[in-house]
Amino acid sequence: MKSQKETENFKKTINRQRIKPRIWDYSYFLLKNNFNVFKKFRSLIIQENRRKILDVGCGFKPWLEMFDKKKVEYIGVDFNKSISLVDFVASSDKLPFADGEFDALIYSEVLEHVSDLQKTLNEMRRVAKNNALVFISSPFVFPEHGIPYDFQRLTQYFYRKTFENDEIILIKESNSSFSTMLASFNLFVESSPFGILKGFKNVFYCLTNIIGIFGDGVINFIFSRIGKSYKKYFYLMPLGYALIIRIKK
């Protein structure tokens, strides 16, 4: 059980990382990609005048800051009230809402933590309106976390198959396999006893992330001239994926 101070620090860190990722974050590539895709998701919500949003596994509602609270109804669901700002305590596979209730849904770093994935996906579809927008982000090459509730890693091909009858607006991998190689050092440091060395690790993360950005830039500059197929070789091990789906019923 975290103390109140520990919980507050955790809240500040998580919320800042989601909406203000920094080059010294150990999972910078993942965070930055999720943020960029979420900005597009938010733009679609604004353009289409979507009013009612459900955040499943909302935690401390980091994405809420990106919306005008006077223009949207933002509802958060989580199974753990002690480490979240929930409106409803519920699990993702049994949502306490009517069919077709929501214009937009958010599943940010959630699906890897659900034990019955198919039931969760069924509930997503049930509470979504026809043409509802869904934002999903999930890690791929990433350490076990949220233990013991860490059950799977999902590929882009899983998402493409799962939503093949819907409109896949965007699926975006976070980074190349080259920068994942570098980021793996960050992941090791963060999940090891070295993680307590805040000043040291932030400098280290900056260095590896900058090299990774440069490396990805070189890869994209050189091989994009050959064709899009280069991604099949250089982007097989991203830290994670973010996507936007339009549900079709």
pLDDT tens, residue by residue, 53-107: 999 999 999 999 999 989 999 999 998 877 778 899 999 999 999 999 999 999 9
Q: Which of 143-152, 208-217, 219-228 has the highest mean pLDDT?
A: 208-217
CA distance 82 to 228: 45
Share of the chain above pLDDT 90, in %: 78
DSSP-derived pairing of the beta strands 128-139 and 240-246: antiparallel
Decide: helix, strand or coil at residue 51: coil
Q: How far apart are the first and last CA of the chain?
A: 42
Whether 56 contacts 106, CB under 8 Å: yes
**Bond into 148 cis (ω within 30):** yes
- Residue 1 reports pLDDT greater than 60: no
Task: Return mean pLDDT, the chain.
Answer: 93
CA distance 112 to 115: 8
> Residue holding tokens 């669901």?
77
- Beta-carbon count within 10 A of 20 CB: 12
pTM of the model: 0.93
The pLDDT assigned to 23 comes to 97
Mean pLDDT calculated for residue range 117-138: 97
The pLDDT assigned to 229 comes to 82
Q: What is the CATH number of domain 4-175+235-246?
A: 3.40.50.150
- Residue 29 reports pLDDT greater than 70: yes
